[in-house]
Amino acid sequence: MPSTIPQNSLQEARRKAEQYKKRPDITGRNQAAVVILKVYDPDVLGGEGVPSGLVPYVSKRPGTLFAKVRILRSGKELFVGFRDSEATLLSSFGNSVLLEGLRGTILYNGLRPEDGQLIVTGHPTSRLRGLASETSTFDISGIF
């Protein structure tokens, strides 16, 4: 199909149809690609306190690990909870600092991504080091 249609009314109808497909569905399941800016685990919340924008979400979903994210398409920053448990995330990624800067996807119903759940889709750039590589033994028997 050609990219332009000769009559203006048909071209406008096609443009509106393409824009309509890109809009989030009010009744369906939507996705938003994000970058994780900051993760609020118990250590961060204990040291820095709970940010004012995060208070309503923590009271609705206690025990959930939350993050501040930026939506890639619009640049909007918001707080959202992770879908996986804190234990699962920290066993996979090590700590909350290693989650910052990774990409993720928010799955949400309707038009409010704040009420959705965050899934980490990125991979950390640095590997976790095990204790076996940290400890080394040196033979110092030849030193007087």
Given a cut of 70, is residue 138 above it in pLDDT? no
State residue 61 phi and psi, 5-degree precision: -130, 70
Residue 119 confidence (pLDDT): 92
The average pLDDT across 25-30 equals 77
Identify which of 38, 11, 33 has the alpha carbon closest to the alpha carbon of residue 95.
38
- pLDDT band of residue 137 (cuts 50, 70, 90) is low
Q: Which long-range contacts (C-beta less than 8 Å, at least 24 apart) are formed by 98-102?
A: 98/124, 98/126, 98/128, 99/36, 99/39, 99/67, 100/36, 100/37, 100/38, 100/39, 101/35, 101/36, 102/35, 102/36
pLDDT bucket at 124, cuts 50 / 70 / 90: low
Mean pLDDT to the nearest integer, 6-24: 78
Element (H, E) at 17: helix 8-22
Q: How confident is the model at residue 51 (pLDDT cuts 50, 70, 90)?
A: confident
Kindly report, residue by residue over 65-116, the tens digit of the pLDDT: 889 999 998 899 999 999 988 888 888 887 778 888 889 999 998 888 888 8
The residue type at 83? R
Tell me, which fold does domain 25-123 have in CATH?
OB fold (Dihydrolipoamide Acetyltransferase, E2P) (2.40.50)
- Please report, for the chain, the start and end positions of each structural domain, with discontinuous segments joined by +: 25-123
CA angle 18, 110, 117 (to 5 degrees): 110
pTM above 0.75, yes or no: no
pLDDT higher than threshold 60 for residue 31: yes
| Percent of the chain at pLDDT exceeding 70 | 80
